[in-house]
Structure 1
Amino acid sequence: MTNIYQQRRKTLLAQLPKDSIAIIVGYQQKVRSKNIKYHFRQDNDFYYLTGFNEPEAIAVLEQSSGRYHLFCRPKDPAQEVSFGARAGVEGAISIHGADKAYPLVEFEEVLLTLIANCPNLYISDELGRFSSQLLCWTNQQRLTCSFDTPKCFTSVHPLAEILHPMRVIKQDEEIALIRSAVNASIAGHVAVMSNCQPNTNERQLASLFNYTVAQYGCDDVAYPNIVAGGNNAICLHYEENCCDLNDGEMLLIDAGGEYQHYAADITRTYPVNGQFNQQQKTIYNIVLAALDAAIAKVKPGTPWNHLYETCMRVMAEGLLEVGLLDGNIEEIMQNESYKRFTVHKTGHWLGMDVHDVGPYHDVQGKWRTLEPGMVFTIEPGIYIPADAEDVPKAFRGMGIRIEDDILVTDDGHENLSAQVPRTVNEIEALMSSS
Structure 2
Amino acid sequence: MTLDIYQQRRVALLNQLPENSLVLLAGYQQKVRSKNIKYHFRQDNNFFYLTGFDEPDAIALLIKSETTSFQLFLRPKDKDQEVNFGTRAGVSGAVEHYNADHAYPVSEFTTQLLCQMKGITSFYVCDETDRFSSEIVSWTNHHRHNGSFDTPKQFVAIKQLAEVLHQHRLIKTEDEIQNIRLAVKASIFAHKKVMQACSPGINERELSALFNFSIANKGCSDVAYPNIVASGNNACCLHYEENCCELEDGQMLLIDAGAECQYYASDITRSYPVNGKFSNEQRAIYQIVLNALDRAIEMIKPGLAWNLINETCMKVMACGLKELGLLTGSIEHIMATESYKRFTVHKTGHWLGMDVHDVGSYHDTAGNWRRLENGMVFTIEPGIYIPLDATDVPEGYRGMGIRIEDDILVTDCSFENLSKDIPRTVDEIENFMAEADG
Q: TM-score, normalised by structure 2?
A: 0.99
Hey, what does 1:71 align to over in structure 2? 73
Q: Partner amino acid for 2:363?
A: H
Hey, what does 1:37 align to over in structure 2? 38
- 1:412 correspondence with 2:393: no
Ranges in structure 2 where 5+ consecutive residues have no aligned partner: none
CA apart distance, 1:266: 0.2
Superposition pairs of residues 289-304 of structure 1, within 5 angstroms: 289-304=291-306
Superposition pairs of residues 84-233 of structure 1, within 5 angstroms: 84-233=86-235
Partners in 2 of 1:78 and 1:306 — Cα distance? 57
Hey, what does 2:250 align to over in structure 1? 248
Q: Partner amino acid for 1:63?
A: K
Hey, what does 2:61 align to over in structure 1? 60
Partners in 1 of 2:337 and 2:374 — Cα distance? 34
Superposition pairs of residues 1-12 of structure 1, within 5 angstroms: 1-12=2-13
Q: Partner amino acid for 2:252?
A: M
Q: Partner amino acid for 1:396?
A: R
SS in 1 for 2:135: helix
Partners in 2 of 1:40 and 1:217 — Cα distance? 18
What RMSD over aligned residues (CA atoms) do the two structures have, in Å? 0.6
CA apart distance, 1:136: 1.2
SS in 2 for 1:355: coil
CA apart distance, 1:117: 1.7
1:209-260 deviations in whole A, cap 9, x for unaligned?
0000011111110000000000000000000000000000000000001111
SS in 1 for 2:413: coil
CA apart distance, 1:395: 0.4
CA apart distance, 1:135: 1.4
Hey, what does 2:392 align to over in structure 1? 390
SS in 1 for 2:24: strand
CA apart distance, 1:368: 0.1
Partners in 1 of 2:251 and 2:106 — Cα distance? 55
Partners in 1 of 2:54 and 2:226 — Cα distance? 22
Q: TM-score, normalised by structure 1?
A: 0.99
1:160-192 deviations in whole A, cap 9, x for unaligned?
010011100001000000000000000110000
Hey, what does 1:20 align to over in structure 2? 21
- 1:288 correspondence with 2:294: no
CA apart distance, 1:358: 0.7
Partners in 2 of 1:218 and 1:227 — Cα distance? 19
Hey, what does 1:402 align to over in structure 2? 404
CA apart distance, 1:352: 0.4
1:196-216 deviations in whole A, cap 9, x for unaligned?
000110000000000000111
Partners in 2 of 1:183 and 1:432 — Cα distance? 23
SS in 1 for 2:124: strand
Ranges in structure 1 where 5+ consecutive residues have no aligned partner: none
Superposition pairs of residues 295-374 of structure 1, within 5 angstroms: 295-374=297-376
CA apart distance, 1:61: 0.4
Query: After TM superposition, what 4+ stretches of structure 1 lie above 3 angstroms from structure 2?
Result: none
Q: Partner amino acid for 1:242?
A: C
Q: Partner amino acid for 2:125?
A: I
1:292-341 deviations in whole A, cap 9, x for unaligned?
00001110000000000000010001001111010111111111111110
Hey, what does 1:428 align to over in structure 2? 430
CA apart distance, 1:66: 1.9
1:132-154 deviations in whole A, cap 9, x for unaligned?
11111011101111111111011
SS in 1 for 2:155: coil
CA apart distance, 1:155: 1.0
Partners in 2 of 1:44 and 1:353 — Cα distance? 7
Partners in 2 of 1:133 and 1:116 — Cα distance? 16
Q: Partner amino acid for 1:234?
A: C
CA apart distance, 1:17: 1.3
User: How many residues are treated as equivalent by the alignment?
Assistant: 434
Q: Partner amino acid for 2:158?
A: V
SS in 2 for 1:139: helix
Q: Partner amino acid for 2:73?
A: F
Partners in 1 of 2:306 and 2:315 — Cα distance? 15
Partners in 1 of 2:210 and 2:44 — Cα distance? 28
Partners in 2 of 1:63 and 1:330 — Cα distance? 55
SS in 1 for 2:220: coil
Partners in 2 of 1:115 and 1:126 — Cα distance? 21
Partners in 2 of 1:219 and 1:54 — Cα distance? 17
Partners in 2 of 1:124 and 1:219 — Cα distance? 27
Residue identity (%): 64
Q: Partner amino acid for 2:49?
A: Y
- 1:278 correspondence with 2:293: no
SS in 2 for 1:132: coil
Partners in 2 of 1:292 and 1:208 — Cα distance? 28
SS in 2 for 1:399: strand
1:390-427 deviations in whole A, cap 9, x for unaligned?
10000001100000000000010000000010000110
Partners in 1 of 2:84 and 2:327 — Cα distance? 62
SS in 2 for 1:95: helix
